[in-house]
Structure 1
């Protein structure tokens, strides 16, 4: 009996801790994304360039709920620094960009480029490391963008638009942004041969009610535009996290089922051990169904005690991890954890259901 109780408690504790870690990782990554993803993003329904951008700017400017907005151009670019080259993501932004997102808080070294400049850029940490670009005005990286057109190329120099930038700072966010380069929007407009008033998207910082403003802008701007909130911008990442969490959950269901074999064994052993006492009760008029219910209740009691002990242990371990960082994700950061009511309910109902199922069928083994 004690073996089955211990097995259920350990499996419950492990399941709760792992789910708490996943909740912590999800919250941590969402916070990282919030540093670079705006509250709302307006995109064209077709094509890349926003149509009738003056209309969009006018509508956005007229809303009191809009705290700030910025024009953005984002495109892949070929980067060359001496003999090293990479394909990166170029993000051109205007002077309001830092009012919309907090990327300036994510810099490991240096600073965000001066938006009025035509030759400054901030590089993602992994990209800067691979290229070996220093934070120095004397060293320039070359940016290349293919020119549009259908004619045959007679000279490779005529096939690309070029820009030269020096690195002003290095930022570190997550894997998605390690290959990004932030430049003033006029640099990206020049590389793409776009008018000075053009943009691929408009990003918004909202004061309070994001969903209400999103709904209102969709109605006012019409079907030419797509308006995404932060959760919709991160939809693929959040979906991936949920799928990973689901697989971990299913794996631990299997662990709990295996642990419940001890419970089934304990109930069967108790049935065999109390065989003569059971026969005495039957002789005194006690029913077989009553005996089966008795042994079923024993299994439920073992399960409940195992769940309670496991959740208490899991809560203690999670609290210790949150306070003292017992297990490190890397040399600088412990694994994040989060206390979530959903995790308590998921663990509680999962283990109780499996314990109920195992106890029911094990108690049916009573046969004299």
Structure 2
């Protein structure tokens, strides 16, 4: 093992009689390094967007959300939910009633998601951090119900940050039949007043279609007294999240779903994972093409070193040992190229994180961030290194053995 590695290292760095061999070997190494660097940078950019989107959702979504498996709602006093809320690791538990309704304001209308929550919702999430306007976070005062719309919904309805007149909310009655002679009787109507603030999650899913209000208003509007559509939870700091979630699932059985933040936005993150996987596959194909340069440089090296091979055979070297010399030559090019590529990729990621070198174009000021976000994940670096080594080793194995039989 040591002798073939030593000789292959000498062949790699020594000056050849044909200068083109040195150039092709260098190009092979650079090709592997560039392909590796592209993998590191591209996957890190996907991670950056993933983490950026996740940070938006965490300001509004709870750590854990419990929803019924069948139907839209469940009794708030269900013993299963009571057991989950009573777990010692649970710090905040909020009952939620959520459903679709029609919102109307001064001739404009929009279908909205009315989300009624308890007063401790600001302790459950970071809602206060995403409020805009001159008012304060309030859901009700005496008999007045306040509604906090998303910022894009406010644009649609034309309310501004503070709407002077109340927003009229209409929801179909759950019982009875709709009479065409008196259509309005088939709907429950109520009003929401402005606390002087809007929320801005920076995600259209919420900003364009949600109104946050108190749970009493939502129960009255949707005729869900004593019911909830979900139970939202936050754990105490230092809790073993996975263990607590598993315990909750065990308590819930097949009656309730227990979802974390990523599972609550499963569709969004699944699409991002698929995009990242596709990028990885395409860049791996580019890496495979780059490895063909290694085959060319090795074949030329084997032609040049025919006399050395004869000398080694006279000294007692077997064909297997001679073949391993050139295999190690290709593997050295792969390893050096992969290490250099990873180092260069990490350097570029650090520069982008620190200085934001690559912006989002002319309209960068209209985005949440002005430059491409980057996040380096150690497991990605390990996968990239293993991929490059595997592709490089496999790509040189058969050609070296084939040329060894023909040329040596």
Give the TM-score of the pair, scaled to structure 2.
0.81
Rounded Cα–Cα distance in structure 1 between residues aligned with 2:243 and 2:90: 12
Describe the shift of the 1:50–1:81 C-alpha distance in structure 2 as closer, same or farther (beyond 3 A): same
Pairs within 5 Å for 1:53-202: 53=77, 55=79, 58-60=82-84, 62-110=86-134, 113-117=137-141, 118-148=144-174, 149-167=176-194, 168-173=196-201, 174-179=203-208, 180-195=210-225, 197-202=226-231
Give the gaps of 5 or more residues in structure 2.
1-24
- Partner residue, 1:344: 381
Rounded Cα–Cα distance in structure 1 between residues aligned with 2:310 and 2:240: 69
Aligned-partner SS, 2:373: coil
Q: What displacement does 1:300 show?
A: 0.7
Q: What displacement does 1:307 show?
A: 0.7
Q: 1:256 aligns with which of 259, 284, 287?
A: 287
Rounded Cα–Cα distance in structure 2 between residues aligned with 1:221 and 1:356: 50
Aligned-partner SS, 1:328: coil
Rounded Cα–Cα distance in structure 1 between residues aligned with 2:52 and 2:232: 22
Matched-pair contact (CA < 8 Å) for 2:96–2:231: yes
Q: What displacement does 1:53 show?
A: 2.3
Pairs within 5 Å for 1:351-362: 351-362=388-399
Which structure has the bigger radius of gyration?
2
Describe the shift of the 1:279–1:175 C-alpha distance in structure 2 as closer, same or farther (beyond 3 A): farther
Rounded Cα–Cα distance in structure 2 between residues aligned with 1:210 and 1:26: 21
Matched-pair contact (CA < 8 Å) for 1:136–1:166: no
Rounded Cα–Cα distance in structure 2 between residues aligned with 1:277 and 1:224: 75
Aligned-partner SS, 2:140: coil
Residues 247-272 of structure 1 deviation map (CA, whole Å, 9 limit, x = unaligned): 11111111111111222222222223
Aligned-partner SS, 1:153: coil
Matched-pair contact (CA < 8 Å) for 1:72–1:91: yes
Rounded Cα–Cα distance in structure 1 between residues aligned with 2:136 and 2:386: 50
Residues 139-184 of structure 1 deviation map (CA, whole Å, 9 limit, x = unaligned): 4333222223334432232232223334432222223322222122
Give the TM-score of the pair, scaled to structure 1.
0.89
Q: 2:302 aligns with which of 271, 285, 295?
A: 271
Rounded Cα–Cα distance in structure 1 between residues aligned with 2:312 and 2:248: 75
Residues 290-349 of structure 1 deviation map (CA, whole Å, 9 limit, x = unaligned): 332222111111111111111111111111111112223542513322232212211111
Rounded Cα–Cα distance in structure 1 between residues aligned with 2:32 and 2:232: 50
Aligned length: 367
Aligned-partner SS, 2:233: strand
Rounded Cα–Cα distance in structure 2 between residues aligned with 1:194 and 1:92: 11
Aligned-partner SS, 1:53: coil
Q: 2:34 aligns with which of 1, 4, 10?
A: 10
Rounded Cα–Cα distance in structure 2 between residues aligned with 1:277 and 1:153: 98
Rounded Cα–Cα distance in structure 1 between residues aligned with 2:286 and 2:252: 52
Q: What displacement does 1:357 show?
A: 0.9
Describe the shift of the 1:33–1:52 C-alpha distance in structure 2 as closer, same or farther (beyond 3 A): closer
Q: CA RMSD in A?
A: 2.6
Residue range with higher mean Cα deviation, 109-118 or 202-211: 109-118
- Partner residue, 2:15: none
Rounded Cα–Cα distance in structure 2 between residues aligned with 1:108 and 1:93: 19
Aligned-partner SS, 2:61: coil
Aligned-partner SS, 2:228: coil
Residue range with higher mean Cα deviation, 346-355 or 208-217: 208-217
